[in-house]
Structure formats: C-alpha cells, structure tokens
Amino acid sequence: MRDFLPKPLKPKDADVSALLHLGIYQLLHTRIPDHAAIGATVEAANGLKRPWAKGLVNGVLRNLQRRLPELPNWQDLPNHPQWLSDALRQAWPEDWQAVMAANDQRPPFTVRVNRAKANRDAYLAELGRHDIAAAPCAFVPDGITLQQAIPVAELPGFNAAVVSVQDEAAQLAAGLLQLAPGLRVLDACCAPGGKTCHALECEHSLSEMVALDVEAARMGRVEENLQRLGLTATLKVADATQPAAWWDGQFFDRILLDAPCSATGVIRRHPDVKLLRRANDIDKLAALQQQLLAALWPTLKPGGLLVYATCSVLPQENEESVAAFVAQHGDAEHTPIAADWGHARPFGRQLLPRDGGHDGFYYALLRKR
C-alpha cells in the first residue's frame, strides 16, 4: 500500500489504513465490481468520521485499479508490514516465505476430543456418520481437523462435552505438563481456558487447578468452558506479575505460562495483527514475559516444571526470552523437548504455521532445581 500513498499515514490514522486495506483486498481478491468496491470504501470514510480521507481513499484505490495491468504479479505484492517480513526473513531464512503464505490462508478447523467421554477413533466414526469429512491430527492424540469449518452447535456431542474447538499446537500443552494425580497446577494467563480444560480432561485427579487471568471479562469465557465440560478449577482474576495479591503460599507442582505475545503465529486467525502490531511492541512484550517468569518462578515447588508457551514465531519472545531467564536464575534448568513436531531450538521448540495444519507456537520446559 505504501507505493500508492503520497506520504505515509500517521499512527493516529490506523483506522484509515485498515479501511484502505479492506478496499485493496476487495479489488484484488473478490468478485465485487471495481466501481462498487471503490465507492463503498470511499463512503465508509464517513462512518469513521474522517471525511478528509474520502479523497485519499478514492485516489489510492483508483491508482491501484489503473496500475493493475502493469502488475502481472500483483499476487506477490507485500502483504505483511515491512518490519514483520524483515523479522521473519531474519529468524527463518529457509521458511519465511512459507510462513507468510500460511498466514494468508484460511485457518484449519480443529477440535479436541474429551478423552473422558470418547476416544478419537470413535469420534471420527461419528463424524463420518454425519457426513463430516475429517482426519486425525499428526502430533496430538485427541485432535481432529475437519475438512470444512462448521458451527460448533452442529458438532456431534458438543453440548454433551464430548468435543471442544482447539488448534493442534495449543493441544500440545497438556502433554508437556507431565500431569499426574495429586499435583497442584497453575494455568497463568489462562483465558479463554482451552488449555485449562484440556489439562483437567487429561488428569481428573489433580489436587487443584488454579486458573489465573488479569481480565475479568475473559475469565467469564473460562467459566463457561468449564461449566460446559463439567470441570472444576479455582478461578482467580489478578495480575500474574503480582503474586502477593493472589498466591496463598502453597507451591505449585506445575505451571503453564501462556505468555502475552505478538500473536505472530496466529495471524491467519487474527489478520488485524498485521495492522495493529508495531516493531517496538516486541521489546515491550519480551520485557513483560521476563516479568511474568520472574514473578511466577518463586511459586513453583523445587523439582517442579514450568511450561513456557507463546503463539509467536519471533525468537525474541521465545528462545531468547527463555535463555535470558535461565541465565539470570541459577535454579532454572532448561529441559529439551524430545518430539517430532516443530523445530528444535537451543531453548525449546518452535512450531511454524502450516497450511492446513497447526498454528505457529513455541514451547519450552524449565525445571526448578
């Protein structure tokens, strides 16, 4: 889009930038007649209360329309912000183009079978009886990917707690926690609760599952998921970086920290990340991740295990963040993950988004000496 603007838009005009992207998408990727796409996009500037933007939007879109015959490879026009494409190229020199291509695809519709209610083979057969095409996930025992997305209410057994919607990469967390009866577990930054519920489905005999999140509204989603599945957890609305406000002094045997991140591994589910995320956000997020690790580490029992996770594909938030923490904490021992998924890194394993497969995700295991 930068090539068609007379000068870059200011940060305060992010809504106009988003509107331009919508117009460009309609011109390039839909069957909407060009005049209709341009006219509707121009009029939408009024809805933004930015009448000055009408002329800009009209000029940019008509310029693109005129120049399309000169751009036979317009499908290859950059569709990621420059800072992000540069970061992906640097981090993944052999995979960055595949990552960007996967980011532009429709995300797969993946479900998790509740092993307390059914097994995967039986549920696949049930889907077949309903003429729903599906296949088992490659890397998780409870995952199934449907050929086409359907409303959750139409999933056989959804209301009976047989199945939940969850990406394959996110389903890896429960196994990495190495759960066993009697353990006390903390799911920090837990909303919307998919990993909380999966852990409880995998191990019903935990001494306690504490689900913590800073946003009360999002905690409502956690409670809804627990109720639908008939599961129980201790819910706490609090800031994980301030354990004095919520921790009762009893150590946790396991901690899952699904840390706030850039979400660069799930862009196909949240394409607004391309528009809203900025390069300087990564430093801020990496600092927050260090704060969370440092705050939660004292609540972990000696010998306990912390699973660090993000839905980012940027090393600064992942392996570099874990490496920095281990270097600063002598009692933190990195445990390599032996698996057939993702890329082994000096610290942890990195999954990159796959077309038709799992999202981009990162996991690392830290054991307390």
List active site positions: 311
CB proximity list for 72: less than 8 A, separation 6 or greater = none
- At residue 348, what are phi and psi to the nearest 5 degrees? 80, -170
CA distance 60 to 52: 14
DSSP E strand stretches across the chain: 109-113, 134-136, 143-146, 163-165, 184-188, 208-213, 234-237, 252-258, 300-310, 332-335, 343-344, 349-351, 361-368
Residues 145 and 168: beta-carbon distance below 8 Å? yes
With 0-12 / 13-18 / 19 or more C-beta atoms within 10 angstroms meaning exposed / middle / buried, residue 327 is exposed
Q: What is the bridge-based pairing of β-strands 361-368 and 332-335?
A: antiparallel
Structure-block tokens of residue 113: 């079978």
Q: What is the bridge-based pairing of β-strands 300-310 and 252-258?
A: parallel
Q: What is the 3-state secondary structure (H, E, C) of 209-254?
A: EEEEECCHHHHHHHHHHHHHHCCCCEEEECCCCCHHHCCCCCCEEE
CA distance 34 to 7: 24
Residues 146 and 109: beta-carbon distance below 8 Å? yes
